[in-house]
Chains A and B, each alone.
Chain A
Amino acid sequence: MTAELVKTNQVTVTIDGIQVSVPADTLVIRAAEEIGVQIPRFCDHPLLAPAGACRQCLVDIPDAGNGRGFPKPQASCTLPVAEGMVVNTQATSPVADKAQQGVMEFLLINHPLDCPVCDKGGECPLQNQAMSNGQGESRFAESGGVKRVFPKPINLAPQVLLDRERCIVCQRCTRFADEIAGDPFIALVERGAQQQIGIAEGVEFLSYFSGNTIQICPVGALTSAAYRFRSRPFDLVSSASIADHDACGSAIRVDHRRGKVMRRMAGDDRDVNEEWITDKDRFAFVSTRLDDRLTHPQVRDTETGELRAASWPEAFAVAARGLAAAKKKVGLLPGGRLTAEDAYAWSKFARVTVRTNNIDFRARPLGADHGAEEAAFLASTVVLGAPGAGAVTYADLETASAVLLAGLEPEDEAGTIFLRLRKANRATGARVFAISAVGTRGLAKVDGTLLPTVPGAEAAALAAVASNSDVALDSHSVILVGERLAVVPGALAAAVELARSTGARLAWVPRRAGDRGAVETGCLPTLLPGGRPVADAMARVDLAEAWGVDAVTGKDGLSGSQILDALRDGDLNALVVGGVDPADVLPSGGVDKKLRKALKKAFVISLEVRSSEFTELADVVFPVAPASDKAGTFINWEGRVRSFPKVLDHPSSLPDVRVLAGIAEERGRSIGVRTPEQAWAEIVKVGPWSGERAGFEAPASAAAPQPAAGQLVLASWKQLLDDGRGQDGDEHLRASVRPPVALVSAGTLTSLGLTAGDEVELAGPLGRLRLPVAVGEVAEGVVWAPASAPGASVRHQVGPAGSAVTLVGGTK
């Protein structure tokens, strides 16, 4: 039955004398690829709508399927196949070949011959196809070869440069901006030979996906400001890798030269990121070669009290001695940027070497319950989910009837999800709803509906969705919850309940690349590797057997914020800290006096790529490898395993697993694995827990905090590009950070007696900050501001999201 259905949709055409059956509506240019004939093209892109802009793909069609031929050559990239159609490409038809050579001659009238200084030279479709499908001579050279010139280059965005004379007006970039990213800030301007890509006066191409236009430009018209003139394609060694800035698991290609990454390009993975990545994934890779990169182990000298360089064996010995002295009063903060292998090593190190459950990968605010609800949610609902095992996938987002977002702003926090939601919305009209305080531009681009919610009231809002007839969730719908819901009591429970009552599927989308892998490998106080609950004695025995140890402790562990509190109070004697940015875990953005005193007293082991405030307070410092210098696996929000090989060889930094193995062996309690490969083999061997999963009891949901009269509630999250340390070193990328504003509703603005554009003072529990005010689709009684931006860190200078703040107008 199915086979017959498929068969009826097949169309048989004859291309260059070869019969081929392809699905109906296939474009001729793709049908020709099926028989191995490559028709030259520039504007055609499989993920963009057909345009027929460049005319390079002309073919001769003697029979259009109805017995009559087209009198002139046709563009094969816009023409769907028809039953019985006969197509002759340049391979067999002199007509098509002559037409293509003519088009190429036209395209090259004004294209400069500056290939030696053009970044695209060597990987340029125009260069290649001018050789394969062009003629050697141009008739336009007789007039002196005078070409149209423009002053060059101009910035479309801080990180994207445009050389207008090289442009062949194929419109791939404008179509990408319009169709895929939804940021139509670039367009064709002028007419005739002067036609060019342009931006509106003073309005830059500020898109989080602008870098993709550089990659799909078939000539060298769009180039990257950071990569410009840096190297040539034949210098570069390309390694496939996985993006390490968010939990999307996007495939990337890392191009490096002599041990230095020169650029990152989007990889091609239809199941995940298609061919697109965010600008952060593309440009933010310089930070690991800044001066503050740690290059050798250090230990604190007992006499001078200063850090001094040490050998690896000495540092292992000192670390092991310190841990032995601290007994079990140790906290471990591995951070959320680890590969699954490294996270597994941390998890096993905590259980086998230190024998504690005080481990938490969550380096972020955890709310009043210290993340207990989120941990229970992860243990019961999220862990062990994977594509093929019932978990939500990108493909499910594309076919979902409706998507509900809670505590998640996809454009800022998971760019690939944003692009899929936009694709789904454009293709099927799938509706997107957001439980949020702000109707962002990202939400507008997916044609989403805001369910205005004051921060803190998300639990009630989720509960109310069930009775909201407008939001029709069914078994084809998806609920995506972000990690920001952790700070709202009862919100995750409400999401689980909503999914249960409506049949919609639920997925958790964290912000960092290693978050999900850390859940799977048990970097939580309540969870052991493979989803084994700590509270389940059977699971502990199972794991102890797999590990060959006597027992795995079942004692309650401390969560991330509890570990820091315990350190402050002197209840813990030692801290092992990984890639944790102090700015993320400490409300004021830096180590406060009391914690500094406690950390100086406690024994601190730091495993870091770059020097941080924790490193400076540590007793032993180990340099560890960034994702580019080690093989590993990220597990993305779907639960999809995304392995990547080592890109660069950097002998001075080892993966976390090797460092922890060294300390553990010195301590006499080996973790049994030394390399990422061994760790992965053991993860597979230990396997997932087949016994009973941890339950999830809904905690009492607290009422949303009511701000006092005259106060507003602060809504806030980190935008994609901010002042994060991972983006350090690329001034072009940093220049494209959206300028921070305080966003309020029109009603709130009037009631405060302000006008848009005024500079206002935002005052909260931590202090005050001056920002310009703007009007947006914001819930009443709420002010939104980005959590962090260069020079304006709302989360440290004003307060965390959910704080009560005041907005006072000032002079301009």
Chain B
Amino acid sequence: MGTLKEQFWDPVAGFGVTFRTMFRKVVTEQYPFEKLPTAPRFHGRHQLNRWPDGLEKCVGCELCAWACPADAIYVEGDTNTEDERFSPGERYGRVYQINYLRCILCGLCIEACPTRALTMTNEYELADTTRESLIYEKSDLLAPLLPGMELPPHPMLLGADEGDYFRGNFRPSQADESAEEH
């Protein structure tokens, strides 16, 4: 048998916490009916960015795949031709897949990307009912075309070569339209 305090006061004292909480603001989020914004640098679904003229920033170098600790990224590069250009320079990513069954959203791929083609959005709703649909293809990952952008393939509109793109030496007529990546 315990002391008198243990027998009679302690069981009632717990309700004090309950009573105090009744006058505090509720922390429950009404997800999915109500969506709150994430922290600005939250690691969500990836995005493949575009240059302001719509060409892809990805050069298919596979450094993201190399950095990935979960082996979630698969890339195949290919050669741009004069008739069919997807990115400035010689090389572009023909196949780009991220397997969200494997991805741990650690962001090492973002750090590895030499062209800032790969960044992360704040989107976190990455659930689905099949395995296949969780392997995101290039078409699922590419950033939407903003005003002023043109769907590749098309020639380089902002500079004479890839150096102009990488250094930001855009042609004046187009430079003001340049949009920041997300």
Contacts and interface: CB of A to CB of B under 8 A. Distances in A.
Nearest to B94: A229
Given A116-B59, A117-B61, A152-B90, A232 B66 contact: yes
Given A228-B79, A229-B60, A235-B62, 15 more contacts: A116-B61, A116-B114, A116-B115, A117-B60, A117-B61, A117-B89, A117-B90, A121-B61, A229-B77, A229-B78, A230-B78, A231-B62, A232-B65, A234-B62, A235-B65
Contacts of A153: 90
Contacts of A231: 62, 76-77
Interface of A: 116-117, 121-122, 149, 152-153, 228-232, 234-235
A577 to B, nearest CB: 38
B91 interface: yes
B79 A117 contact: no
Contacts of B62: 231-232, 234-235
A117 B59 contact: yes
Interface string B54-68: 000001111101100
Interface string B102-132: 0000000000001100000000000000000
Nearest to B113: A116
Contacts of A122: 66
Given A232-B62, A235-B62, A117 B91 contact: yes
Interface of B: 59-63, 65-66, 76-79, 89-91, 114-115, 163
A152 B115 CA distance: 20
A64 to B, nearest CB: 45
Nearest to A122: B66
Contacts of A116: 59, 61, 63, 114-115
Nearest to B93: A229
Contacts of A152: 90
Nearest to B66: A234
Contacts of B59: 116-117
B71 to A, nearest CB: 11
Contacts of A230: 76-78
B67 to A, nearest CB: 11
Nearest to A116: B61
Most buried by A among B60, B61, B79: B61
B165 to A, nearest CB: 13
Contacts of B163: 149
A759 to B, nearest CB: 34
4 shortest interchain CB distances as A-B pairs:
A116-B61, A229-B77, A117-B91, A116-B114
Contacts of A121: 61
A231 B65 CA distance: 11
Contacts of B60: 117, 229
Nearest to B78: A229
A166 to B, nearest CB: 13
Contacts of B78: 229-230
A241 to B, nearest CB: 23
Nearest to A234: B66
Contacts of A117: 59-61, 77, 89-91
A149 B164 CA distance: 14
B16 to A, nearest CB: 60
B154 to A, nearest CB: 20
10 contacts: A117-B59, A117-B60, A117-B90, A122-B66, A229-B77, A229-B79, A229-B91, A230-B78, A232-B61, A232-B65
A308 B60 CA distance: 42
B166 to A, nearest CB: 10
A18 B154 CA distance: 62
Nearest to B90: A117
Nearest to B80: A229
